[in-house]
Amino acid sequence: MCILSLMPHVIVSPCIGVKDQACTEVCPVECIYDGGDQFLIHPDECIDCGACVPACPVSAIFPEEDVPGGEESFIEKNRVHFGL
Ligand code: SF4
């Protein structure tokens, strides 16, 4: 059994300074938190439903495996914020 901590969805740079909150309104498990300059998704709480992706007006949310090139540092930013 895999015990690695997975991070299904990640919020990247377009959220910075925008923080529209549309994602927080559609997330069924309320796992999107205010991370200061942007919103961040709790890796252990996200159920990978994908509802937040089309809700984001600046297309800032991606499954971890689809995070655009140059935005990879946000994967670690999410982990560190939640102490993972
Ligand atoms: Fe919430 Fe679903 Fe987005 Fe995960 S993928 S942050 S559970 S809306």
Nearest to 18 by CA among 50, 46, 43, 55: 55
pLDDT for the residue 7 = 58
pLDDT for the residue 8 = 84
- Ligand 1 contact, 67 CB (< 6 A): no
Residue closest by Cα to atom 3 of ligand 1: 52
CA angle, 36 then 43 then 67, to 5°? 80
pLDDT for the residue 6 = 58
Convert the pLDDT of each residue in 16-69 to its tens digit.
999 999 999 999 999 999 999 999 999 999 999 999 999 999 999 999 999 999
Encoded tokens for 45: 């709480």
Residue closest by Cα to atom 2 of ligand 1: 49
pLDDT for the residue 79 = 87
Ligand 1 center to 65 CA (angstroms): 15
What is the C-alpha to C-alpha distance for residues 72 and 27, in angstroms, rounded to an integer? 23
- Ligand 1 contact, 48 CB (< 6 A): yes
Q: Is the pLDDT at 5 greater than 70, yes or no? A: no
